[in-house]
């Protein structure tokens, strides 16, 4: 059990109010008709499933019924932050970019 801050309701709410919506920022193939079955299967079913930090979507199901993004640690349920989809995308992209730069 944990508490998620809903950026739309601007309030911390119990996990029970939310519904898990899976890994965030998985790009849907732009042209599904042209995809092979394998590629489409990968898109649908192959998730990162890490032990540790995970970018994921939640639906505030009993509240505003909007989607939000949380960065949650799957090992201990710590939550680094939660944002609207567009705000989260900026934070996520910067994190990816910084990680890339660090390995160069």
Rounded Cα gap, residues 52 and 50, in angstroms: 6
Binding mask 44-83 for another protein (x = CB under 8 A): ----------------xxxxxxx-----------------
Is residue 11 within 8 Å of residue 44, measured between CB atoms? Answer: no
Distance between CA 11 and CA 82 in Å, rounded? Answer: 11
In sequence order, what are the residues at sequence separation of 6 or more whose Cβ sits closer than 8 angstroms to the Cβ of residue 102?
none
**Per CB under 8 A, does 86 bind another protein?**
no
- Is 8 an interacting residue with respect to another protein (CB under 8 A)? yes
Does position 93 interact with another protein (CB under 8 A)? The reply is no
Tokens of 53: 């930090």
Interaction mask 32-71, Zn ion, x per CB under 5 A: ----------------------------x--xx-------
26 binds another protein (CB under 8 A): no
């Amino acid at each position: 059990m944990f508490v998620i801050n809903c950026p739309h309701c601007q309030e911390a709410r119990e996990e029970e109010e939310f519904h898990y919506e899976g890994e965030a920022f998985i790009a849907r193939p732009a042209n599904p008709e042209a995809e092979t079955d394998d590629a489409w299967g990968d898109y649908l079913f192959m998730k990162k499933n890490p032990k540790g930090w995970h970018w994921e979507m939640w639906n505030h199901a009993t509240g505003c019924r909007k989607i939000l993004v949380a960065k949650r640690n799957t090992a201990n349920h710590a939550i680094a932050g939660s944002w609207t989809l567009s705000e989260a995308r900026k934070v996520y992209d910067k994190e990816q970019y910084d990680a890339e730069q660090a390995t160069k």
